[in-house]
């Protein structure tokens, strides 16, 4: 009988050759794929060959291979830990659910009964077992990982959910999965199949180029709508087509006239049944004002949606909604489509396409980077003791005058806050 771990716990691995088994209850009628990623210290694969899955069942170095005929588990891997390259910090084992809906609606990992991952002797006897008992509605799970620790190996019970399925999970580790010559979820086409994939940055650029081409087809219609001042109803008709034909949402994912607590949102954009973006549409060409921002964000604040889109067809503004104390809307980006849309702007717009929202961590990262360089953030950084001490040293070195930190900080405050 092996050791049973709780989520977050770890245990040492005493053997170089182990079996990693993954299984779930027989009554679970879901399509599931099990994968493994060999990642470095930055949690990224070194190359596509560090991704082990059904279509690439082993690593070239011989350190990890899928075991197709081991009947004690639904899926199993054999790991020879003494063969793992030195620059691989850990091996992450994952499971993802297919996108086909079943009788219960949107499939997710929470529908899997009796899910577990175990580390075993090469002959199958348990060494470590982690039963996953608290699973939410994500379509992907990081089950556990083998990781280096002080020259040895340990197993960690992770159990962390991840939205977006296998493609989004793989992208987070630096791998892009695509089917050749097939239309992607954005309707913009996909990139290259496994074995010839492009890095995520290049994938993003390709998505942006496809979006730029698709948007340019709409520019004459948008320009005419702005010039003629068409009404809000006709504006929304054009916007509907853009959201579906360019941004890749399906008709049922573009929800119009959504109401909550007496407030009405023009749009709510959803992915796989989850409401992710609230949208406010103004008549084509109407100047966007603060009251429109409030309209766009108040619904999101009361419904728990963290992102708001405000547009008048030609200008697209994306906001992050914070509700810690008061409703606060932070501008993430603003894009103007007229007279022409740039590739750089399309890279931002891909963030809010269906492709981008399948992995909203990209939009979250964009917002964090914008927020980190606001005037308020920079002032806070400058007024920290570390920065003030360095400024005090430079002042003393250059002028021979020595001041207390408090004096330097107060002068900085006067200069920055009350210039």
Q: Is the pLDDT confidence value at 123 over 50?
A: yes
Q: What is the pLDDT of residue 374?
A: 80
Confidence of residue 187 (pLDDT cuts 50, 70, 90): very low
Q: Give the start-to-end residue ranges of the domains of the chain.
A: 3-175, 201-367, 376-417
Domain 3-175 sits in CATH 3.30.2130.10: no
User: How do residues 316-344 score in pLDDT, each as one tens digit?
Assistant: 999 988 765 556 778 999 999 999 999 99
* Tens digit of each residue's pLDDT (9 = 90 or more) over 57-98: 899 888 999 987 677 888 999 999 999 999 999 999 999 886
As to burial, measured by CB atoms within 10 angstroms (0-12 exposed, 13-18 middle, 19+ buried), residue 404 is: exposed
Q: Kindly indicate the confidence band of residue 198, based on its pLDDT and cuts at 50, 70 and 90.
A: very low
The pLDDT value given to residue 137:
74
pLDDT of residue 145: 95
Of 46-55, 84-93, 172-181, 255-264, which has the strongest mean pLDDT?
Answer: 84-93
Round to whole Å and give the CA distance between 91 and 54.
16
- What is d(CA 258, CA 268) in angstroms, rounded to the nearest whole number? 7
Confidence (pLDDT) at 419: 62
pLDDT at 3: 92
Average pLDDT over residues 35-49: 91
Check pLDDT > 80 for residue 1: no
The token pair at 33 is: 């794929």
Contact (Cβ atoms closer than 8 angstroms) between residue 296 and residue 319: yes
What is the topology classification, in CATH, of domain 201-367?
tt1808, chain A (3.90.1570)
**Chain-wide mean pLDDT for the chain?**
83
**Contact call for residues 170 and 197 (beta carbons, < 8 A):** no
Which one is predicted more confidently, 96 or 304?
A: 96
* 245-263 pLDDT tens trace: 999 999 999 998 877 666 7
Who has greater pLDDT, 181 or 213?
213
What would the pLDDT profile of 355-373 be if each residue is shown by its tens digit? Answer: 998 877 788 888 888 888 8
Q: Is the pLDDT of residue 164 over 70?
A: no
Region 402-413: mean pLDDT is 89
Predicted confidence at residue 106, as pLDDT, reads 65
Report the C-alpha gap between 49 and 190 in whole angstroms: 20
Q: What percent of the chain has pLDDT over 90?
A: 42
Mean per-residue pLDDT, 125-150: 88
Q: Report the candidate in 320, 33, 324, 345 with the shortest Cα–Cα distance to residue 215.
A: 345
Rg, C-alpha atoms of the chain: 26
């Amino acid at each position: 009988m092996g050791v049973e771990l709780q989520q977050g716990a770890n245990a040492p691995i005493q053997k170089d050759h182990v079996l990693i088994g993954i299984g779930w209850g027989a009554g679970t009628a879901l399509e599931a794929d099990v994968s493994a990623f060999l990642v470095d210290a930055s949690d990224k694969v070194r190359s596509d060959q560090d991704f082990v899955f059904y279509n690439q069942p082993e690593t070239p170095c011989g350190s990890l291979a899928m075991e197709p005929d081991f009947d004690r588990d639904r899926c199993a891997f054999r790991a020879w830990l003494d063969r793992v390259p030195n620059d691989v910090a850990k091996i992450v084992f994952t499971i993802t659910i297919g996108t086909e809906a079943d009788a219960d609606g949107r499939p997710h990992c929470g529908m899997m009964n009796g899910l577990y991952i175990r580390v075993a002797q090469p002959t199958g006897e348990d060494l470590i077992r982690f039963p996953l008992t608290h699973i939410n509605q994500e379509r992907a799970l990081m089950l556990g990982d083998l990781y280096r620790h002080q020259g040895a190996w340990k197993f960690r019970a992770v159990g962390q959910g991840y939205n977006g399925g296998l493609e989004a999970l793989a992208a987070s580790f630096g791998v892009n999965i695509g089917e050749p010559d097939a239309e992607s979820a954005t309707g913009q086409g996909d990139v290259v199949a496994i074995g010839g994939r492009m890095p995520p940055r290049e994938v993003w650029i390709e998505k942006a180029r496809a979006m730029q081409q698709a948007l340019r087809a709409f520019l004459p219609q948008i320009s005419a709508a702005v010039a003629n001042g068409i009404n809000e109803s006709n504006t929304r008709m054009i916007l509907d087509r853009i959201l579906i034909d360019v941004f890749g949402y399906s008709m049922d994912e573009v929800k119009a006239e959504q109401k909550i607590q007496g407030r009405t949102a023009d749009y709510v954009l959803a992915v796989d049944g989850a409401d992710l973006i609230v949208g406010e549409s103004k008549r084509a060409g109407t100047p966007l004002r603060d009251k429109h921002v409030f309209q766009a964000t108040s619904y999101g604040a009361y419904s728990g949606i963290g992102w708001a889109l405000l547009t008048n067809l030609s200008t697209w503004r994306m906001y992050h909604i914070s509700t810690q104390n008061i409703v606060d809307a932070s501008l993430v980006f603003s894009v103007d489509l007229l007279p022409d849309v740039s590739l750089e702007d399309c890279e931002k717009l891909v963030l809010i396409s269906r492709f981008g929202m399948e992995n909203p961590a990209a939009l979250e990262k964009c917002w964090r980077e914008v927020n980190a360089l606001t005037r308020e953030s920079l002032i806070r950084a400058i007024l920290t003791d570390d920065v003030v001490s360095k400024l005090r040293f430079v002042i003393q070195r250059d002028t021979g005058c020595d001041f207390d930190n408090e004096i330097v900080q107060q002068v900085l405050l006067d200069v920055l806050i009350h210039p």
